Structure 1
Amino acid sequence: MRRMFSLFLALVMVMSVSMTVFANPQSKPNGPWIQPEQEVKLESLMSPEDLEKNLMQIKDRARPDRMELDVVGYSATYEYPIYAVKFGEADTDNPKIFIQTQIHGDEQLGTEASMDLIQQLAMSNNKDITNILDNVTVWFIPMLNPDGAVIFETEQGQSKQRQNLQVWDPAEYGLAEDTQAPWYYRPDSVSREMGFDVNRDFHPYLDFELGPDTAAYIPRRSSEPGVYATPEALASRAVFKELQPDLFIDHHHRYSNIVSEDDDRLNTLQIIAQVVDEDTVVSFGGTDYQLDEESLNLSKQVNSHVYQALQRGNSPFGAVSRYPEVNLPGTALGSYSMNGAAIMLYETRGQQHPYGHTGQKANGQYTQQSYVGLYETLRGFATGEIYEIDPAFYDEEIPYGSPRIGRPN
């Protein structure tokens, strides 16, 4: 069915919400932008308690034998359960996809989109959904960093936090008291911007354990892999090792950019298929970890498929471009790609803190954009359409070089 269920939902949302958002643009490029007097409330976005409640309700109402719900770890400080939602078995010949969201606590719309998709997969009898379930295995971690997702008040308003609130304690790993923390740790507890950036805590060697014998590998710069010091990274790693996915999707947020030097439309999404240089090698335990051509080509096919899906018809999601080139083997995307998984990064516009650039109305549109992209990815694997895409489309057709812009007010 070429006219997809997700596109219908997107158009419904556009008619009911987004038309008011994009009327009377406030700047060129047009917004929406947060206004100086505007107070942004974050209660409409899922808290860790809301997530747990919603997952339990979906599980209770799911069609028989469709969905498995597991606790794969606990957050560093508040000890919230970290849930994995599983559709299909790891031991299968079907394509296997791992979708992870909210590794940064203030980047939440991926959680909203993934929960909408989880509900459809668990409960819908739509033909496209049943075809996906028959032909694709998909597992989710819909909120990897629940500690960072907790709302707190600042002088500027409500906020969430990028880090995981964890305190560096060398003794926890059997290390000397004066052992320096990894570079991606912040000790500042006054502003609440403390803890680890979980998305720098990954290593291609998936059995890495931080301890006296590996203390020399604690990274001092972003080009070095992480050390799995956080329970959140360990939870993600456990799911990856169990599933051994063909594709890993990680959902993030970014500030405001325009599509390219020649296209001043405001980006709604940036995507990327490669976060590690092809000549980067990480050696550990007698094994060399390096990006391979097969998984990179599949990454480009997946990213191209989503880009094409978001351009169809009168879609409001056409302002998509490629994320800047990076070389980050210590990220989840980087480490997992060096273990043979294709990858896709979502960098949706807007972050959920007082200095973010979007409000509640735009959040609905951006959530739907991510839903459409994720849904179309699953459908594309179920039908085989993704494998028909020329990987060269990614490099040749998707705009690149999106300049960052500040809000006009």
Structure 2
Amino acid sequence: MKKGFSLLLTLVLVMSMSISVFAEAQSKPNGPWIQPNQTVKLESWASPEDLEKALFQINDRAREGRMELEVVGHSATYEYPIYAVKFGEADTDNPKIFIQTQIHGDEQAGTEASLDLIQQLAMSNHPDIREILDNVTVWFIPMLNPDGAVVFETPQGQSKQRQNLQTWDPEEFGLAEDTPAPWYYRPDSVSREMGFDVNRDFHPALEFDISTDYTAGLTPGRSTAPGFYVTPEARASRAVFEELQPDLFIDHHHRYSNVVSEDDDRLNTLQVIAQVVRQDNVVEHNGVEYRVDDESLALSKQVNSLVYQELQKGNSPFGAVSRYPDVNLPGTALGSYSMNGAAIMLYETRGQQHPGGHTGQKANGQYIKQSYIGLYETLRGFATGDVYEIDPAFYDEEIPYGSPRIGRPNN
């Protein structure tokens, strides 16, 4: 009897401890998470070939005069075309918006959301779409880094990669063969995690030429300093920015899993940011000083606040939105362009597309929808003028800040 009672007591205690452990979830909801033996087929995301096919089909079916499809560069290694999709002219008094996605090859929800939005703008005759097209110019680069988007196999499973697969060759730029690579280069070709982080390859001086401007004083650089336009992908983005001179630049990324803030344990679906360079960070080049100005920063905060507010409406499943941590990165596309007078918005959507990623196909579909809503409502906000009615202070005072990172509970 005593032995049986002891065994029963032990079982009760173990069960109580287990219940206690499982009750203390990291977030609400506590998932969804990729399970240890779950396989996510990355072919469900658009490949460079899929993107090209989709863009050609949309262009063929677009209403006359609406859409222009242009090759603005080629990727570093596989020489995939980098496409720009244009609605409206650069020479206009309408607000001009530049939307860029997949600067990192393993961050794809923005590409899918952009394709959906491009299709609507090209083909729909809905009054809201016509109002956008009449009052806003919007250009897209829906996949800036196609080399990184190519699926490859690893011992852990399928993967895409952040970098662009480019090899550092200083002689290509007329530099001495022993010139060190910029700090954002990874030479590891065994794992395929090689090449440049394109999103550190930007410089506020848009005319920067590595062949003549790359000196010992700039090498190899650091995260709080500008990049050097080493990559053809960054140069393609720069060409579009220079041609359009946008009022707003949107860059779409992915992040790992977070909760909203220290005081809000909802599972974070999106982080946004309106400023990626401190206003006291001044970059000088050839006698010209580049900095973030008050007017564009105010518009940045209005745009980020508009998206936040739209995602809170009704019984939205996308209400767990917060501000991305403060950074100081003039070498990013957002940083460089914000120092050239453009308002900015960063999307950091939950979920990375590699073997250690956290989300499956159903969750990814929800995050694509979230990004589509944000992008669409931004265009609507500019078309109607509603974005200008938002108090920029809302961004600092009302959008939660912090977003502590959490990991998979089954790791």
Q: In the alignment, what sits opposite 2:290? A: 289
Instruction: Give the Å deviation of 1:110.
Output: 0.3
Residue 26 to residue 143, structure 1, CA distance change in 2 (3 Å): farther
Are 2:198 and 1:198 aligned? yes
Residue number in structure 1 paired with 2:127: 127
Distance in 1 of aligned mates of 2:318 and 2:401:
16
Following superposition, the deviation at residue 198 of structure 1 comes to 0.1
Aligned twin of 2:328: 327
SS at structure 2 position matched to 1:139: strand
Displacement of 1:286: 1.0
CA contact (8 A) 1:25 1:32 kept: no
Q: Report how far residue 212 of structure 1 moved.
A: 4.5
Structure 1 residue 176 and structure 2 residue 142: aligned? no
Q: Alpha carbons of 1:292 and 1:35: their partners in 2 closer, same or farther (altered >3 Å)?
A: same
Corresponding residue SS for 1:327: coil
Residue 46 (structure 2) aligns with? 46
1:310 maps to 311
Where does residue 32 of structure 2 map in the other structure?
32
Q: Does 1:155 align with 2:155?
A: yes
What's 2:70 paired with? 70
Kindly indicate whether residue 120 of structure 2 is the aligned counterpart of residue 116 of structure 1. no
Letter in 2 for 1:265: R
1:60 aligns to 2:43 (yes or no): no
Conservation of the 8 A alpha-carbon contact between 1:25 and 1:31: no
Name the CA distance, whole Å, in 1 between partners of 2:110 and 2:213. Answer: 37
Q: What runs of 5+ residues in structure 2 fail to find an aligned partner?
A: 1-21
Counterpart of 1:134 in structure 2: which amino acid?
A: D
Is contact 2:99-2:140 (8 Å) kept? yes
| In the alignment, structure 1 residue 81 sits paired with structure 2 residue 100 | no
Aligned to 2:12: none
Partner of 1:394: 395
Name the residue aligned to 2:10: none
Deviates more, 1:28-37 or 1:101-110: 28-37
How far apart, in 2, do the equivalents of 1:286 and 1:131 lie?
43
* Structure 1 gaps, min length 5: 1-23
Corresponding letter in the other structure for 1:359:
G
Q: Are the aligned partners of 1:165 and 1:196 in contact in 2 as well (CA < 8 Å)?
A: yes
CA–CA separation in structure 2 for the residues paired with 1:114 and 1:68: 15
1:206-240: CA deviation from partner (whole Å, max 9, x where unpaired) = 00010154333234211110000000000000000
Offset of 1:26 from its aligned partner?
11
- The residue that corresponds to 1:225 in the other structure is 226
**Does the CA contact (< 8 Å) of 1:26 and 1:32 recur in 2?**
no
> Residue type of the partner of 2:197?
D
Match for residue 188 of structure 2?
Answer: 188
Q: What is the aligned partner in structure 2 of residue 11 from structure 1? A: none
Quickly say closer, same or farther: Cα 1:38–1:294, change in 2 above 3 A.
same
Q: Which residue of 1 aligns with 2:339?
A: 338
Check whether the contact 1:322–1:399 (CA below 8 A) recurs between aligned residues.
yes
Q: Amino acid of the residue matched to residue 406 of structure 2?
A: I
- Following the alignment from structure 1 to structure 2, what is the Cα–Cα distance between the partners of residues 26 and 78? 47
Where does residue 12 of structure 1 map in the other structure?
Answer: none
Q: Give 1:8's aligned residue.
A: none
Residues 208/156 of structure 1: CA separation in 2 closer, same or farther (3 Å cut): same
Assess if the C-alpha contact under 8 Å between 1:218 and 1:226 holds in 2: no
Q: Counterpart in 2 of 1:379?
A: 380
Judge conservation of contact 2:180–2:220 (CA < 8 Å) in 1.
no
For the residue of structure 1 that corresponds to 2:210, the secondary structure is coil
Match of 1:350 in 2: 351
Matched, 1:164 2:152: no
Separation in 1, partners of 2:342, 2:69? 23
Partner SS state of residue 335, structure 1: helix
Contact 2:221 2:227 in 1 (8 A): no
User: What letter matches 1:366 in structure 2?
Assistant: Y
| Residues 201 and 330, structure 1, Cα contact 8 Å, conserved in 2 | yes
Residue pair 1:219, 1:225 contacting (<8 A) in 2 also:
no
1:10 alignment partner in structure 2? none
Residue aligned with 1:43, SS: helix
Normalising to structure 2: TM-score of the pair? 0.93
> After superposition, what is the alpha-carbon deviation per residue over 1:86-140, rounded to whole angstroms, capped at 9, x for unaligned?
0000000000000000000000000000000000000000110000000000000
Question: CA shift at 1:254, angstroms?
Answer: 0.2
The total of aligned residue pairs comes to 386
Cα distance, 1:290 vs structure 2: 0.5
Find the aligned partners of 2:215 and 2:355 in 1 and give their Cα distance.
Answer: 37
Whole-Å separation in 1 of the counterparts to 2:23 and 2:283: 48
- 1:13 is aligned to none
- Give the distance between the partners of 1:41 and 1:70, measured in 2 at CA: 30
- SS for the counterpart of 1:211 is helix
- Alpha-carbon offset, residue 307 of structure 1: 0.1
Write out the 4+ residue segments of structure 1 that deviate beyond 3 Å after TM superposition: 24-28
Cα contact 2:26–2:406 (8 A) shared by 1: no
Residue 140 of structure 1: aligned partner: 140
> What's the secondary structure of 1:70's corresponding residue?
strand
SS in 1 for 2:70: strand
Distance in structure 2 (CA, Å) of the matches to 1:213 and 1:265: 47
Structure 2 counterpart of 1:53, which letter? K
Any residues of structure 2 matched to 1:191-270 within 5 Å, and which? Answer: 191-216=191-216, 217-270=218-271
Q: Give, in whole Å, the separation in 2 of the partners of 1:78 and 1:269.
A: 32
**Partner Cα separation in structure 2 for residue 167 and residue 324 of structure 1:** 31
Distance across 2 between alignment mates of 1:327 and 1:85: 30
SS class of match (1:31)? coil
Quote the Cα distance in structure 1 between the aligned partners of 2:40 and 2:24.
Answer: 18
Q: Percent identity?
A: 82
1:364 aligns with 2:379: no
The separation in 1 between residues aligned to 2:273 and 2:87, in whole angstroms, is 25
